[in-house]
Amino acid sequence: MANTRKRSPRNRTLMVSPDERPWLLSKLTVQRPKTPLAAPAEGTILGDFRDWVGLLPRNHVDLLFLDPPYNLDKEFNGRRFSRKDVGEYTAWLDGIIALLLPLLKPTATVYICGDWLTSVSVFSAASRHLTVRNRISWEREKGRGAKRNWKNASEDIWYCTVSEEYTFNVDAVKLRRKVLAPYTDSSGSPKDWVRSHNGGYRDTHPSNLWTDITIPFWSMPENTNHPTQKSEKLLAKLILASSNPGDFVLDPFLGSGTTSVVAKKLGRRFLGIECDETYALLAAKRLEMAESEKGIQGFSDGVFWERNTLALQRDKTKPSLAERVLF
């Protein structure tokens, strides 16, 4: 039956129309090559990443982003992921990390996403193969309220590296915050903050508690119908911190394409693999749009802004990069 529900004019959710499908399908890599690839082309592979790992070059990836299905009963466009017991999920994840490990450079970084339940598995599996450096807790705000439990409104992103030698560009991911206690020195000049006519602000070290990122929703231009889409701002922080321009970013659970889109916008090379055609087409569409649209919501002028700072972001008196006070 045709969907007769009217879409709100402010609903910007991206979709792939039947007319666009053949064109976008032509952008996907579908056929497996007969021999391993020396340097894979940038883009999106439609397939199961486990069938492709052996065809990808070893020692090639600078940044691996793993956003696997969490240990929940969940439908991904008709493909069902069924909840396993914790030991089984840990073994499943362990197998995935072991499979992908040969693709990584010795200087590579790996981020692995999870929720409260899978985090125990992520730590256990990751620490067998990698150095686990931190766990970022992301308050994603939205979540279904529960009558007999606490609402689940956070996720974890585990930060791991292959070795002691790794990239961490701390200055690229500082958070711009409004100054609540604007101290001045004896001459009346700001101490460790910058004055603007909307108030003062300072750029602060990025912590492992992220409260400035929402999950994409219907009025955001990056939003799709993917059930577990990550936001571009979240990926931008990870990619800027843990890779340099020209580095190679791999996402074998690409979903709607967020990792590749952000890698492209930030001048990194990228490859994403997604087994579902509808999602892979969405990724292809977003990558086409990223040819001209380089903006990342919540990241402007090379700065991440905390929530509710729109007035500050629009402030025309804000200083240049060189004038910022960093501490």
Ligand X SMILES: C[S@@+](CC[C@H](N)C(=O)[O-])C[C@H]1O[C@@H](n2cnc3c(N)ncnc32)[C@H](O)[C@@H]1O
Segment lying near ligand X (by CB under 6 A), choices 16-24, 123-131, 238-246, 251-259: 251-259
114: contact with ligand X by CB under 6 A:
no
Closest distance of CB 47 from ligand X, Å: 7
- φ/ψ of 281, rounded to 5, equals -70, -40
Which of residues 206 and 216 has its CB atom nearest to ligand X in the complex?
Answer: 216
Q: Tell me the closest approach of the beta carbon of residue 215 to ligand X, in angstroms.
A: 10
77: phi > 0 → left, psi -120 to 50 → alpha, else beta; which? left
Give the residue nearest to ligand X (CB): 255
Q: Is 19 exposed, middle or buried (0-12, 13-18, 19+ CB in 10 A)?
A: exposed
With CA atoms as reference, report the closest residue to 262 among 301, 231, 300: 231
Query: Which one of residues 62, 67, 212, 247 is an interface residue with ligand X (CB under 6 A)?
Result: 67
Phi and psi torsions of 63, nearest 5°: -140, 125
* Beta pairing, strands 61-66 & 248-251: parallel
Helices 258-265 + 232-242 axis angle, to 10: 60
Among 253, 270, 299, 304, binds ligand X (CB under 6 A): 253
Chosen residue from 62, 156, 247, 274 binding ligand X by CB under 6 A? 274
Least CB distance to ligand X at residue 319 (A): 34
Rounded CA gap, 9 and 7, in Å? Answer: 6
Rounded Cα distance, 140 and 152, in Å: 9
- Contact status: 276 vs ligand X (CB under 6 A): yes
Q: Which of residues 208-247 bind ligand X (CB under 6 A)?
A: 226, 228-230
Query: Judged by CB, which is closer to ligand X: 282, or 312?
Result: 282
Per CB under 6 A, contacts with ligand X among 279-318 are 279
Count the site residues for ligand X by CB under 6 A.
21
161 burial (CB, 10 Å; 0-12 / 13-18 / 19+) is buried
Cβ 187 to ligand X shortest distance, Å: 49
Which stretch in 21-29, 47-55, 153-161, 203-211 sits in contact with ligand X by CB under 6 A? 47-55
One-letter-per-residue 3-state SS of 98-151: HHHHHHEEEEEEEEEEECCCCHHHHHHHHHHHCEEEEEEEEECCCCCCCCCCCC
Q: Which is nearer to ligand X, 112 or 275 (CB)?
A: 275
Does 111 engage in binding with ligand X (CB under 6 A)? no
Q: How many CB atoms lie within 10 A of CB 62?
A: 22
Region near ligand X per CB under 6 A, out of 43-51, 99-107, 169-177, 312-320:
43-51
SS3 for 322? helix
Cβ-contact 71, 83 below 8 angstroms: yes
- For ligand X, the binding residue among 255, 270, 290, 298 (CB under 6 A) is 255
Contact stretch for ligand X (CB under 6 A) within 42-50, 100-108, 127-135, 181-189:
42-50
By the criterion CB under 6 A, which residues form the site for ligand X?
48-50, 67, 69, 76, 79, 226, 228-230, 252-253, 255-256, 258, 273-276, 279
